[in-house]
Amino acid sequence: MTSTTLRGWRGMAIVLCGLGAGCGSLDPSLPVYKSEQTDSSHPGYRRSTVSTAGATYINDFEEQSLLLGDRYPKQVVGRSQLGNGKICAIAGQDPSAYLAVDVGSEMPAYAVYRNANLPPFDWRHAAFQKLRLDVPVGPAANKETTDPGLIEDVLRTLRDGTPATPPVTAPATFLAPPPMVITESPTGVYFVLLFSDQLPGLIFRPSFYLDASRQVYLAENMVVTYTRTEQSVQAAWIPAGPLFARWVQTP
């Protein structure tokens, strides 16, 4: 049985109306970016690069927790060597720092790539102004706060917390057989969206897990593995602080 590992679950619902979306039509005169993928130093992850004319951009563990503010960027700055995938600028970011690379197949799916000459975004020392739960349904759906104490509670857990012992594992989600489409996240696993003026056009996106006993956990990043019948999550889940744990479960 084969499996595919995706570095950070982005949601797998296929929206047919999005097939025509993206960052504009391709110009054959655009620079061509070569792609390469190797093992990451972080277990379970892959280090992907795109490069052109001496400039190299990286997508690795640190970039997996970054999300585009605009899901479909509009300014095309290059094209991939294979498949004519689109390389786009990110609104609010200098293209020499970050790019959005279309890594989708049937539909656009953009990943954040960082210039290899720049350090990863240091969320540990960033100031965040807003927090939103990326929860699609229920009383906490898209819940937001600007409470600095609550935001710091999340960051302190991620920065200083210790993964649960024994390790916590989110239950696998069983998938309908083809041609059914995956439409749900792994059971109880969602994202926390953190917005910072120091990261225009991008969102820091750690994960949180609400287990069956209503315990709340946080993780900077996670790996989702797919087989023919199920999807499962691997993450170093840290028990959440009391403020965030209570807020998550309050309508």
Q: Rounded CA gap, 211 and 170, in Å? A: 7
pLDDT score, position 185: 55
Answer whether residue 46 shows pLDDT above 60.
Answer: yes
Q: How confident is the model at residue 91 (pLDDT cuts 50, 70, 90)?
A: very high
Lowest-confidence region among 18-27, 80-89, 195-204: 18-27
Tokens for 189, please give them. Answer: 């696993």
Highest mean pLDDT among 2-6, 104-108, 115-119, 228-232: 115-119
197-243 pLDDT tens trace: 999 999 999 999 999 899 999 999 988 887 777 778 889 999 999 99
Q: In whole numbers, what is the pLDDT of the chain averaged over residues?
A: 84
- Full-model pTM: 0.83
